[in-house]
Amino acid sequence: MAKLILASASPRRREILALSGLPFVVRAGSGKEEIHETEPAEIVKELSSGKAEEALLTAEAGDIIIGADTVVAFEGRVMGKPKDEAEAFSMLKELQGRTHQVYTGITVIRKGSGERDTFAEKTTVRVLPMSDEEIWEYVETKEPMDKAGAYGIQGRFALYVEGIEGDYQNVVGLPLARLYGCLKKYREELT
**Catalytic residue annotation:** 69
Q: In which element (H, E) is residue 170 found?
A: helix 168-172
The amino acid present at 114, given as its one-letter code, is G
Instruction: In whole angstroms, give the CA distance from residue 22 to residue 190.
Output: 7
Name the DSSP letter for residue 127.
E
The amino acid present at 26, given as its one-letter code, is V
Give residues with Cβ within 8 angstroms of 11, minimum separation 6: none
